[in-house]
Amino acid sequence: MIAMDMYVDGSRLELGKRIGKGGEGEVFLAQSHSKTAVKIYAPKLALLREDKVVAMVEAGLWKNSSLVAFPKGVVRSKKGEFLGFTMNVVEGHRPVHELYGVKSRKNHYPKADFRFLVRAAANIARAVGQVHQSPCVIGDLNHSGILVSDTATVALIDADSFQFEHSSRRFPCLVGVPDFTPPELHGASLNGVVRLREHDLFGLGVAIFQLLFMG
């Protein structure tokens, strides 16, 4: 557990159960805020992510999207140091690869038939479309960032990695999973690439193909 006083919008934030961990940091449930999750960056990454997360929160992206876990509040230490952000918690959903994997589908989606897969695929497309109605391009659309519930509803996570434009400034997407990245971007430095919505559609096509044809 991270032992540190932290605040969001002037309100003290208490962390609960850790629900995720990756190369960028850790994700916790917020014990002091209902239906809220908290991403705390690794110390070396926090300064690199601050401007983008603050801009996303200022833009209010989370208010207009029910399908994407956009940053909702800026988390800081008592001294004002940037630590991470809050977002709406995504409950009852699992990564899409657990749905298209035959063994994991039997365990986690025992009632799923082909109609269920088609419905989930359509909902993934709707979620991507909702992102494209905002000043964002997903960029790193992949099997870990798409979550599906046992009723085929869909949520997208890792929104802080999206390419995002705000106040004449573009914040790039710096990452990409090769299998979901268009061929024309393979070998390119993603730091200098401007992602297009069409690039997301390639990743969407791969995700839907894997979903409908068991990976």
Alpha carbon separation from 106 to 8, 91, 113, 145, 196 (Å, rounded) = 40, 20, 11, 21, 36
Spatial distance between the Cα atoms of 108 and 165, rounded to a whole number of angstroms: 37
By the 10 Å C-beta count (0-12 exposed, 13-18 middle, 19+ buried), 111 is classed as exposed
Sign of CA dihedral 23, 28, 162, 171: negative
Copy the structure tokens of residue 208.
Answer: 């839907």
- Given 5, 51, 113, 140, the catalytic residue: 140
Is residue 140 annotated as a catalytic residue, yes or no?
yes
What are the two backbone dihedrals, phi and then psi, of residue 185, each rounded to the nearest 5 degrees? Answer: -100, -5
Is 198 strand, coil or helix? Answer: helix
**Residues classed as catalytic:** 140
